[in-house]
Amino acid sequence: MQDILSEMGDIAARHTFGARSQTPAPRVSLFQSFARTTLQPVLYEPMLCVVIQGAKAVTIGDRRLRYDPASYAIGSVEMPVTSGVIEASAQRPYRAVSLGLDRGILAGLLPQVDGGAMEPTPFGFDVCPMTPDLADAWLRLLRLLDRPSDIPVLAPMLEREILYRLLQGPQARMLRQIAAADSRLSQVRRAIAWIREHYSKPLRVEHLAGRAGMSVATFHRHFKAATAMSPLQFQKTLRLQHARSLLIAEPDAARAGYAVGYESASQFSREYARLFGSPPARDAQRLRRDAAMLEGVIAP
């Protein structure tokens, strides 16, 4: 499999510009970093990530996971995490490729794979061993970047093959729940979508549970199983991440706190420092000085 990874790395090096490059292949992005990065809170979207070279670490709640060329990472829900590149250098940069998960394609594949029980709700992020078949499909997909005229015809076929391989792997249950509209995971994803759209508004768990079609106790249990945090913790993390984005553009901590829903400037400052390691104004100054590094941290 080392030969496959070596060729994938050569292709990625030719087509990655900056920290992240969106490729002509739908939902496929390339990432690189020439140095290790500090662990920082970011928001992951549902995706499959394959590390071609180097390694990355992600912390979700009390779980710490590492992924490298021997593994792949898969996320099924939008999730605030703490992540960073832990192996990279100018001589051997971190390189990775990701594929956004398309629910419609997964749903179309379900009749062609063995079914299984939907319960309990799986954790929404995991790291699994890479297989030769999956690595080979990824290599053939990346080769299309050197032949862009082939992408419209062949990329959809290879995307289906990659997802088919995943549906035969250890995270098949997670993927089936993404595809099934009535699964617990899909119900949690609908609640997450509402929180993301209304993160600055007061959150009532009873309202979210009703939108998800569950009792409050059931909803809380399934939400925490998928995200490793409560709905209120999830909302708070989103608020602070949005506030951080505002502070990079305009260093007014009080305004940023109020904009994301905080009524107390002191509470905002305390919770911001707890998550990001320093008070809002000081953190914003550091981020503006080191904007290039921050861009590198965002890659999955």
Distances from the Cα of 167 to the Cαs of 29, 107, 111, 291, in angstroms? 21, 11, 11, 38
Distances from the Cα of 293 to the Cαs of 49, 84, 210, 297, 299, in angstroms? 20, 11, 41, 7, 11
CA distance 11 to 119: 40
Name the pLDDT band for 120 (thresholds 50, 70, 90).
low
What percentage of the chain's residues is helix, strand, coil (to nearest 5)? 50, 20, 30
Whole-number pLDDT of residue 298: 40
CA distance 128 to 171: 8
Instruction: Kindly give, in sequence order, each residue whose CB lies less than 8 Å from that of residue 26, ignoring residues fewer than 6 positions away.
Output: 155, 156, 159
pLDDT tens figures, 123-132: 888 899 999 9
pLDDT greater than 70 at residue 93: yes
Structure tokens that stand for 129 in this block: 């061993």
Query: In DSSP terms, which residues pair with 94 in a beta bridge?
Result: 33
CA distance 23 to 7: 17
pLDDT tens figures, 67-76: 999 999 998 8
pLDDT tens figures, 176-210: 887 776 688 888 888 999 999 999 999 999 999 99
Residue 185 is inside which H or E element, if any?
Answer: helix 184-197
CA distance 198 to 10: 42
The count of residues in the chain is: 300
Q: Of 197, 203, 236, which Cα lies nearest the Cα of 219?
A: 203
| CATH class of domain segment(s) 2-179 | mainly beta
Whole-number pLDDT of residue 27: 96
Whole-number pLDDT of residue 97: 97
Mean pLDDT over 84-95 rounds to: 95
